[in-house]
Amino acid sequence: MKRYLFGFFISVSQWLNAQESRQLSVDKPQAVADLRTEEGSALVDAKWFVQNAELVKMDFKSPGPGTNGDSHLIYPTGMKEGTHELRPQIGDADYDKNFRAIRASELEKRQGTGLISFVWYKVDLTIPESIGKLDTKGSTAVFEIVMDDYSEVWVNGKQKVERNFGLVGAGAISGYNARNRVILSENAQPGEKFSIAILGINGTLGMIPENYIWVRNAVIDFYKELPINRDWNHIGLIYAIDSSLAHIISPGAAVQKVADGFSFTEGPVWYPDGYLLFSDPNTNSIYRYNPADHNVSIYMSHSGYTGADIGEYGQPGSNGLAIDREGRLIIDQHGNRRVIRIEKKGPVTVLADHVDGKRFNSPNDILLKSDGTVYFTDPPYGLPGFFNDPRKELDYSGIFMIRDGKVHLVSKDLGGPNGLAFSPDEKYFYVTNWDIRDIHHTKTLWRYEVQADGSLRNGKIFFDWNLTEDEEALDGMKVDREGNLFVSAPGGVWILSPEAKLLGKIVTPERPANMAWGDSDGKTLYLTAHTSLYKLRVETGGKFSWQ
């Protein structure tokens, strides 16, 4: 329902106790085509093919430095050495040459040479107009296969999710005799064609079984609507204090919860391949949320600390996350007290772990400038004893800049610097200040002028929350394309104009700690809030860190 407030609107939703997340992988589809039967294959005009693959000897090179001065020994630029390669591979000119047709009823037949062996399967199919009583137009079509023993899946020559940390299933190996599910289309259209390639792998490889490769299950599941928890729709409040908010958030927009069951969510960032990464510093993990299938998986465990005394830490894990222009993940690690970058080929580069010979407190939020300069805040909130922790080496909580491989202190004006954001033109630099050392728990938003060398000057209070009685933190924030600020503050997310005018407020059952722009157009604001993840459509949208 809607009510009017301050001459405008307030969208009021039900405050429901949502049940456990219902994911696509465990919900009942509205129709199924069983590709292991002739009848089921006929529903989607499926044609099966198979060919053996084999390991062939080839020349390669040992690890060496990159050609662009990269000192990491992770590139094949070293001494010549022999290795093996699997052939054929996706993209080979002769990939289709040796496929032979098989019937669906032959999928249980053992294939390959046994022991260490590999087999390519291929199924070509077409989305029909209907299956039973289901009109397939606009439905979500999901391919599922269970291969004895492992499988990798490609659709139309590509894996549906790019290879990255923590990927299980969705095209990569999902486990021993485990189902591998890949979304073919979220908006299936009759006549739409798919060519699905599946690499079967005999395993386990460390102790080779005396068996062969075969298909235990292969289906296409059709969902007319994605199975999400309907109780999670319209689960927040949107207060409009100024009429201009209607331009930013449409009056019909509503907050939706998309996942729960976490300890304390933080540091979200949208990855270019189409999913959200976010930290849970309490559980020392980074999670991945895939909006295509509403699935959450662990992207990285032990994301911030591996010390033996981890039990003493309330928040040992990662906090702020960012993606640079090369698609590399940059992580603020609380427990390890450093900023790292995960290189494309896997190793870790430590960008910053000390200044003036002293270790950082616990890097918190992170921000990338368009020229690649990295900024981060360093309050002691990740240390067990906060400001009084004996591990603390710096006598201040700074804002730091990493530029041209060097760490620079750009401000130590604030007692508890936390969230960071740039204005769209990068002329201004915003930082929230939550200093818990005084009785009032200082809560102020500051704005600095950005200089040509990346340094900051003329820091001034932009907005003051000290008059609020709530002792909740000032935390993360985001700025939209028009310069409006979305700030995690006492009671919710406060929306401020570039002139510091209060425009409105977003209230969810749990106060969001941080935010990220997401989805393909950057107009979805994802909110990490304690045990849950929420989202809201924002018409003005925002830029991604890697743009």
Question: Residues in the chain, how many?
Answer: 547
What would the mean pLDDT of 336-341 be, rounded to a whole number? 95
User: If DSSP codes are grouped into helix, strand and coil, which group holds residue 39?
Assistant: helix
Count of other CB atoms within 10 angstroms of residue 218? 27
Query: 138 in a domain, yes or no?
Result: yes
Domain range holding 371?
A: 230-537
By mean pLDDT, which of 42-46, 195-199, 300-304 is the weakest? 300-304
In percent, the amount of the chain with pLDDT more than 70 equals: 88
Count of other CB atoms within 10 angstroms of residue 71? 8
By mean pLDDT, which of 308-312, 377-381, 503-507 is the weakest? 308-312
pLDDT of residue 10: 35
pLDDT of residue 6: 31
* One domain for residues 178 and 82: yes
Residue ending a domain, among 208, 223, 238, is 223
Q: Give Cα separations from 359 to 61, 317, 391, 454 (angstroms).
A: 38, 17, 9, 23
Please count the structural domains in the chain.
2
By mean pLDDT, which of 109-123, 169-183, 406-420 is the weakest? 169-183
In percent, the amount of the chain with pLDDT more than 90 equals: 64
Query: 7 in a domain, yes or no?
Result: no
How far apart are the C-alpha atoms of 539 and 547, rounded to whole Å?
19
Task: Using alpha carbons only, give the angle 258, 262, 268 rounded to the nearest 5 degrees.
Answer: 65
Q: In sequence order, what are the residues at sequence separation of 6 or more whose Cβ sits closer than 8 angstroms to the Cβ of residue 248?
A: 480, 482, 484, 495, 503, 504, 538, 539, 540
pLDDT of residue 1: 27
The half-sphere exposure of 445 on its side-chain side, counting CA atoms within 13 A, is: 30
User: If DSSP codes are grouped into helix, strand and coil, which group holds residue 27?
Assistant: coil
Query: 136 in a domain, yes or no?
Result: yes
Residue ending a domain, among 190, 223, 256, is 223
Q: In sequence order, what are the residues at sequence separation of 6 or more whose Cβ sits closer than 8 angstroms to the Cβ of residue 284?
A: 301, 302, 303, 304, 305, 310, 316, 317, 318, 335
The one-letter code for the residue type at 136 is T
By mean pLDDT, which of 303-317, 481-495, 523-537 is the weakest? 303-317
Positive or negative: CA dihedral 85, 89, 92, 98: positive
Residue ending a domain, among 203, 223, 243, is 223
pLDDT at 25 over 80: no
500-509: pLDDT as tens digits: 999 999 999 9
The one-letter code for the residue type at 261 is G
Query: 170 in a domain, yes or no?
Result: yes
Q: Which two tokens stand for residue 156?
A: 């139309």
What would the mean pLDDT of 410-438 be, rounded to a whole number? 92
pLDDT at 350 over 60: yes
pLDDT of residue 48: 97
Write down the mean pLDDT value for the chain.
87
pLDDT of residue 162: 55
What would the mean pLDDT of 303-315 be, rounded to a whole number? 88
Query: 9 in a domain, yes or no?
Result: no
* One domain for residues 208 and 310: no
Is the CB of residue 123 less than 8 Å from the CB of residue 47?
yes
pLDDT at 332 over 50: yes
Identify the bridge partners of residue 118 per DSSP, sorted by sequence position: 53, 201
First to last CA, the chain: 38
Identify the bridge partners of residue 402 per DSSP, sorted by sequence position: 374, 407
pLDDT of residue 298: 84
Identify the bridge partners of residue 448 per DSSP, sorted by sequence position: 429
Considering only residues 98 and 166, tell me which one the structure prediction assigns the higher pLDDT.
98
* One domain for residues 394 and 459: yes
What would the mean pLDDT of 242-264 be, rounded to a whole number? 92
- Confidence (pTM): 0.80
* One domain for residues 41 and 180: yes
CATH value at residue 420: 2.120.10.30
The one-letter code for the residue type at 190 is P
